[in-house]
Amino acid sequence: MARIPATEFTGVTGRFIKIVARRMLGVVPEPLAVMWHHPKIVMASSSFGRKVSKLHGVDANLKSFAHMAAVSLIGCSWCLDYAYFATHNEGLDEAKAREVPRWRESDVFTPLERQVMEYAEAMSQTPPTVTDEMSAALLEELGAPGMIELTTFIAFGNMAARGNVALGIEAQGFAAACEMRPLAERATA
């Protein structure tokens, strides 16, 4: 249960967002309902998130795997739940997506996909553990614009995931709604 209760959507903008969310997802996402206590924060982060999501310099599957690896490491069940839903709805590789939380043990990923998920996890550590070698390998594969896009995408996911975890926001059942089988569990050391 969220540490701050959801609030009613107020004003024309609030009512519009509620209608659009229900049309797109069937429900209002809990992070949105909780964060609506501060509409300006919702609008600012949503605007940035939409802009980052519209960039297509890096393969969508790579960005999806990076995002899922980061939010899995952080422990954001809501983010991972929604990511599976988005993977399904955007026609991305569901079989691989299901394996992201245990990517190190799985044999379905390419070397580049593994590099991307390792980088995403390293970025998501506190403090970050990104190495020069990781960066150089990805820079060679993705180029400077791609590396910057991937890094920004992961960083935005970190912001949302850490906020959701701090606010106690948990999975909302999006993955179940698209009938994806139970998700892989993150391997523990």
Q: How confident is the model at residue 163 (pLDDT cuts 50, 70, 90)?
A: very high
Q: Homologous superfamily of 58-177 in CATH?
A: AhpD-like (1.20.1290.10)
Q: What is the predicted pLDDT for the residue at 37?
A: 97
Helices (H), the chain: 11-25, 30-35, 39-53, 60-74, 77-89, 94-99, 111-124, 132-167, 174-177
Task: Report which of 24, 126, 23 is spatially closest to residue 70, judged by C-alpha positions.
Answer: 126
Whole-number Å distance between alpha carbons of 170 and 107: 29
CB crowding 83-95: b at 16 or more within 10 Å, else e? bbbbbbeeebbee
pLDDT score for 172: 92
Question: Where exactly are the structural domains of the chain?
Answer: 1-54, 58-177
User: pLDDT digit string (tens) for 16-49?
Assistant: 999 999 998 889 999 999 999 999 999 999 999 9
